[in-house]
Chain A
Amino acid sequence: MNVRMILLDCINAVLKKKGKPQIQELDERVSLRLDLGFDSLDLAELTVRLEDKTGIDIFAQGPVDTISEILRRLSDGHTDR
């Protein structure tokens, strides 16, 4: 499964727990906080879900917010290994 699909699945897992509608595709401009209503704990859960699936800590270099930023961290994480 590629990283975009993994990210989509993980975001939807958090949204499901929050009782919010799922997203169908990744829009790289989307802000997790402003557009999807993620708070700090939601971001923490997403971080852990992504790390379990990819081995990459997306917060290692500081906070992220947009889908674009997360994809870049996931891509950089794969490149570093």
Chain B
Amino acid sequence: MLLSDVAHVGKLNVVQDGEFRHLAKLNTLSPVGGNLIFIEDIKYARDVDPTLVSCVITRVDLVDTLLSQSPGIGVAASEQPRESFYKIHHYLLDSGFYFAKKPTYVHPSAVIAPGVKIAPHNVRIGANTVLEDGVIIKENVVIGNNCLIQSGTIIGNDCFEVTTIDGVQTLVRHAGQVIIGNNCVIQSNCTISRGLFPSRNTVIGEEVIIADLVHIAHGVHIGHKTRIAAGVVVAGNVEVGENVWIGPSAVISNNIVVEDKAYISIGAVVVRNVKAGEKVAGNFAIEYRTLLKTLGRALLDE
């Protein structure tokens, strides 16, 4: 797809045409390259890697900066780069750019309760997987073998990405997938959002156990054998390693990396990366012992 092919959709002035194969945000680029992104702030212009980014939609006053930095990339000017970008995204979503529609496949040994709703396209349910009553599976979801999805859980919904289109605050429709490995349990009334773009799907590894009322946002990766207690919120594009414990009602802010065997205490609000094996607690979460000593000091002063 060329920038010039979608210029009319995004009201673009194509300064230098280019070809793209993916749409992405700067922090979730497809590693194979050919990404179309948008930039509204000059500080992000420095982060453009021409081996990954092939086209940029940007403000008129940033065009020269980008071209001088990366002479070979496609650049289009827009009065509202973000709006143009998402208009193009919605247009491409409707035109089949991101994925072809394939019939849903449910393994014959899967147990599907009568009240389950499964999208008719682009869903795969593995062997011996159980979907309880009230489960909703939307398009672009893959669930492995021997999984249990309990009542009221929704998998594959659009997540919280908001923009303004033609003056109206709008929820951005999502084009990525949810991919869930084998032997997972997702308990009741959870929401597992699909990726915003296929360059960053939502991926849950093997033997992951997720308790009731958990929200997993778009682009989150959960490593094997991680356990997530009730009420947890994992915001967009978070990377959680293997064998991690996330305690009840903890919140992990977007783009955070939680390494293997980390321990997130009950109610923690994580706004910094957590190292392997580290135990954190508090709002904002810090090393557990440090927090306890701080609280101990406060109790002493009461």
A41 at the interface (CB under 8 A from B): yes
Output the nearest chain B residue to A48 by Cβ-Cβ distance.
B296
A44 at the interface (CB under 8 A from B): yes
Output the nearest chain B residue to A59 by Cβ-Cβ distance.
B289
B2 at the interface (CB under 8 A from A): no
Output the nearest chain A residue to B295 by Cβ-Cβ distance.
A44
Distance (Å) between the CB of A61 and the closest chain B CB?
A: 11
Output the nearest chain B residue to A46 by Cβ-Cβ distance.
B296
Give which listed residue, B292, B297, B300, B302, contacts A43 with CB less than 8 A: B292
Measured between beta carbons, the chain B residues less than 8 angstroms from A49 are: 296, 300
**Is A40 in contact with B292, judged by CB distance below 8 angstroms?**
yes
A28 at the interface (CB under 8 A from B): no
In Å, the complex CA distance between A72 and B166 comes to 70
Main secondary structure of the interface of A (DSSP, over half): helix
B43 at the interface (CB under 8 A from A): no
**Is B289 in contact with A45, judged by CB distance below 8 angstroms?**
no
Measured between beta carbons, the chain A residues less than 8 angstroms from B299 are: 17, 41, 44-45, 48
A47 at the interface (CB under 8 A from B): yes
B46 at the interface (CB under 8 A from A): no
In Å, the complex CA distance between A41 and B297 comes to 10
Measured between beta carbons, the chain A residues less than 8 angstroms from B296 are: 41, 43-49
Measured between beta carbons, the chain A residues less than 8 angstroms from B300 are: 45, 48-49, 52
Residues 275-301 of B, flagged 1 when their CB comes within 8 A of A and 0 if not, give 000000000000001001101110110
Measured between beta carbons, the chain B residues less than 8 angstroms from A41 are: 292, 295-296, 299
Interface residues of B (CB under 8 A from A): 289, 292-293, 295-297, 299-300, 302
Q: Would you give 24 A-B contacts (Cβ < 8 Å), ordered by A?
A: A17-B299, A17-B302, A41-B292, A41-B295, A41-B296, A43-B292, A43-B296, A44-B292, A44-B295, A44-B296, A44-B299, A45-B299, A45-B300, A46-B296, A47-B296, A48-B293, A48-B299, A48-B300, A49-B296, A49-B300, A52-B300, A57-B293, A59-B292, A59-B293
